[in-house]
Structure 1
Amino acid sequence: MKEKQIYLIGIGMGTEGTLTEKARELINKSQILIGAKRMLEPFAKEGKELFYSYKADEIKAYLCQKETFQSACVLLSGDVGFYSGSKKLLEVLGDFEVELIPGITSMVYFCSRLRTSWEDVCFGSAHGKTINVIQRIQRYKKCFFLLDGEVSLKRLCEKLRYYGMEGVTLHVGENLSYEDERIVTGKPEDFETMAFGTLLVVLIENVSAKNWVASSIPDEAFIRTKVPMTKSEVRTISIGKLQLEADSVVYDVGGGSGSVSVEMAMQSPDIKVYSVEKKPEALELMEQNKRKFAADNIEIIEGNAPEALEKLPAPTHAFIGGSSGNLDRIVDCIFEKNPMCRIVINTIALNSMAQVMELFKSHPEYESDIVQIQASNAKQAAGYQMMMGQNPIYIITLWRKTQEARG
């Protein structure tokens, strides 16, 4: 079927005015047009065969049962390389000769309408997927997102207000390039009562944005109560031992104050942290610190481990700061979910360290790295700087022997 030519065409915003001349030429001479109904309506002409679908498998099945055509065009909104269906289509149309024709993206068009550059924009899509928009807005002065309609916009504004980001400016675009195109600028609270349709984009400006990577956040930066907190020096070493990646899925077992969860979450907007805690006072404090740092990629789980872990997605990494005597069961649960998971355990008590050693004896397939540290901090006393020691702590890194060595 290689003699049959398929063009995947980015048609811009959807109207003929945002179509490139190359795209127009191919559409005019093609026998078959394929795409969502909204995509095809401006180009439906006498003599053209139309197939309404945006699903890759349906498009492939349709083309495979056609015998007489020479070329067909699949019309896709925006550009074929910007959150487009072309990626999946390229995977399934391997038996055809496929060519991609670029178009104008919604981001480029919208920024031009706002008379602003897009070279410094952080962009993403919340269309049918979960994305940590809050941390991106926190880090970048300009962010562009494709939205899932009015509900998605209202949820975004609610989050911005919850995390204390009421001062950002939103530019919302609806039905771009069409006759009923609408662009509205305002603060999060301004959109509470506004009604919108489904074709939405948003550009968010945050003049207070700071693109920082959290490393050794000072202890005093966290909200504190009597709930125990892993100190800054220990957090730094423990998170370093985890060797997190930009899109890691992490368990924090015994989340406590949330300090470890927050610092892990702040490493990357695409890290997902599940912080498991059973004590009500700790859960409340954890939520307060999550809110203070706008760490929207933390999901707080109330319950006892390992039971509370069972329904969670498989982790790539796990930090265990408290096990309530269930260390062996927790480790077993984690490795059952992902045999390649990397685990870091913190313990102060010798009893807990004895549990770790028993774990090693019963599981010779485990590899480990054990570090003991005792940090001291200077304090002013009678005109002198006195070193005040913290409790010594064991930091145990655990992985299976089958796991490829890292770093």
Structure 2
Amino acid sequence: MIHVIGIGLDGASGLSESVLNLIAGATVLVGSDRHLSYFPEHSASRLVLGDLTETIIEIRQQLIRWEIENKQSLDNYIVILVSGDPLFFGLGRLLVAEFPPEKLTFHPHVSSIQLAFNRIKIPWQDAEILSAHGRSMETLIQALQQGIEKIAILTDNIHNPQAIAQLINSLDLPSYYQFWVCENLGGNDERVQLWDIESLKNQEFSSLNIVILLRQSRSGIEPLDLSKIPTFGIQDQLFLSYSDRPGLMTKREVRTLVLGELALQPKQTIWDIGAGTGSVSIEIARLFPDSTVYSIEKTAAGTTLIEQNRQRFQVNNVVSIHGEAPDILHHLRSPHRIFIGGSGKNLSEILGICSIRLSPGGVIVLALATLEHLNTALNWLEQRKRIEHSWTYRILNVQLSRSVPIANLTRFSPLNPVTLLTISHHSLFA
């Protein structure tokens, strides 16, 4: 009774003969003004898609009239014209919810997302496909923060390419994205172009556009212009990061708190255990050039990143150590301060070695992302305090949000909560 037919910007010429025959025989033709204009000579009753609720009511009333008049037959049916694939962020989802499946038949066209990826010649089976059309940008924020490699975004007049570019700039992402805008796909005025994000502000785009974001790896380890980088609180995006997990680093706001909890002083030896990209090590090294920071990382990829970031920020007092704690710790100079950003399953053993090797009056700071690791650390502390009563600790639970622009408004986007556990074995906090 209802045929839902996808159509592109090429209009009737892009449809198969069988689909055109279905449209030609329709009793009622439903669609937007643009879709209906492709069939100006059609003799069927026309229903312009406007308010979706009203349109559904009118379609349902038409089906009821046919039932009452006993005109339910193959000769009486409704054709609804929609863009692309009806069941891909389209009207199909609403129709399936409103009508029995046996009354619906779908005839999809090539979707705009499919066209977009084919135009830029990129495989898209692994892409994250999001709709900002009349929706929140929260899912896009999460995808960007996670460093998803390929993101396709269906836009609207508010969440347009300019708004998406502004959002990306505000997030201080560790990843760089190619920014493609694909307009009027399949039409005579189609335009597919790669843009520099900074140049999008004053550009005008067709209302029919899709944004494709492709994550890029930063190439080279060329030194940065240090005159433009703050002494304290380096932006996340300046660090080279893991290609497959670009968001895996201690975030800028948390780094500043960690450095405060460490209570650093000049001419110290610091261990950074589970250093990842080396972001904490480099912050310390720049603040205290006469200190030595041992940046300990068990993965070869991480060790390479630490060395690349060390060269990038032109610091010579970071020593990159490829090894797994606690075994590697026996070979290092005794530290005045220890930061544990990653421990795997060896947290208790690592804390045991750290407590033995830590210099008198030293401080250990842990950044913990799970309750289980916090519980492990606290259990270790309770056992340790039974032997040495001088051990003290404090806990700081960090739940931060960054402001992000959403069209003409501003909202907060939360970072993952982190618990900072600061341990000392003298009365530093009394």
Quote the offset at 1:120 in angstroms.
2.3
1:143 to 151, 162, 182: 151
**Counterpart amino acid of 1:175?**
N
Mapped pair 1:223 → 2:231: no
Aligned-residue offset at 1:232: 4.8
CA contact (8 A) 1:32 1:71 kept: yes
Gap change, CA 1:155 and 1:124, over 3 Å in 2: same
Listed as ranges, the gaps of 5+ residues in structure 1 are 242-255, 262-274, 276-285, 301-318, 322-345, 349-373, 378-386, 392-407
Q: What corresponds to 1:161 in structure 2? A: 169
**Are 1:10 and 2:16 matched, yes or no?**
no
Give the alignment partner of residue 113 of structure 2, picking from 102, 107, 113: 107
SS at match of 2:86: coil
Separation of aligned partners in 2, 1:237 and 1:389: 26
Q: How does 1:2-401 map to 2 (within 5 A)?
A: 5-13=1-9, 15-66=11-62, 67-68=65-66, 70-94=76-100, 97-131=103-137, 132-138=139-145, 139-149=147-157, 152-164=160-172, 167-208=176-217, 210-212=243-245, 222-224=255-257, 232=366, 234-237=368-371, 259-261=398-400, 298-299=412-413
- Aligned-pair CA distance for 1:126: 0.5
Letter in 1 for 2:186: S
Q: How far apart are residue 116 of structure 1 and its match?
A: 1.9
Task: Give CA-to-partner distance per residue, 1:139-196, whole Å, 9 cap, x none.
Answer: 2222111111376211111122223459422110112212222222111112122111
Aligned residue type for 1:122: E
SS of residue in 2 equivalent to 1:65: helix
Determine the C-alpha separation between the residues in 2 that align with 1:257 and 1:180.
Answer: 57
Whether the 8 Å contact between 2:366 and 2:422 is mirrored in structure 1 is no
* Bigger CA radius of gyration: 2
What is the CA–CA distance in structure 2 between the aligned matches of 1:50 and 1:239, rounded to whole Å? 64
Q: Which runs of 4+ in 1 moved over 6 A?
A: 213-216, 225-231, 238-241, 387-391
Percent identity, aligned pairs only? 20
SS in 2 for 1:25: helix
* Distance in 2 between residues matched to 1:150 and 1:220, nearest whole Å: 30
Structure 2: segments with no counterpart, 5+ residues: 218-241, 263-340, 342-364, 376-394
CA contact (8 A) 1:174 1:182 kept: yes
Residue 224 of structure 1 aligns to a residue whose secondary structure is helix
Contact 1:144 1:204 in 2 (8 A): yes
Structure 1 contact 224–257 (Cα < 8 Å) conserved: no
Shift of 1:59: 2.4
* AA in 2 matched with 1:90: V
Alpha-carbon displacement from aligned partner over 1:81-106 (angstroms, at most 9, x marks no partner): 21011111122223971112222110
Q: Is the 8 A contact 1:30 1:73 kept in 2?
A: yes
CA distance in 2, matches of 1:27, 1:390: 81
> Structure 2: which amino acid aligns with 1:201?
I
- Between the aligned partners of 2:33 and 2:177, the Cα distance in structure 1 is 36
Q: TM-score, normalised by structure 1?
A: 0.54
The alpha-carbon distance between structure 1 residues 48 and 214, as it changes in their structure 2 partners (threshold 3 A), is: same
Tell whether the 8 Å contact from 1:167 to 1:187 is kept in structure 2 after alignment: no
CA RMSD of aligned residues (A): 4.4
* Deviation of the 1:64 alpha carbon: 3.4
Distance 1:192 1:219, change over 3 A: closer
Structure 1 position 259, deviation (Å): 3.8
Judge conservation of contact 1:57–1:92 (CA < 8 Å) in 2.
no
SS in 1 for 2:57: helix
- Say if 1:215 and 1:236, in contact at 8 Å, map to a contact too: no
Partner secondary structure for residue 84 of structure 2: coil
Residue type at the aligned position of 1:47: S
AA paired with 1:141? Answer: E
Report the TM-score when normalising by structure 2. 0.52
Q: Paired residue for 1:400?
A: none
The 1-side partners of 2:132 and 2:251 are apart by 33
Task: Give the partner amino acid of 1:143.
Answer: I
Q: Which amino acid aligns with 1:133?
A: L
How many pairs are equivalent? 268
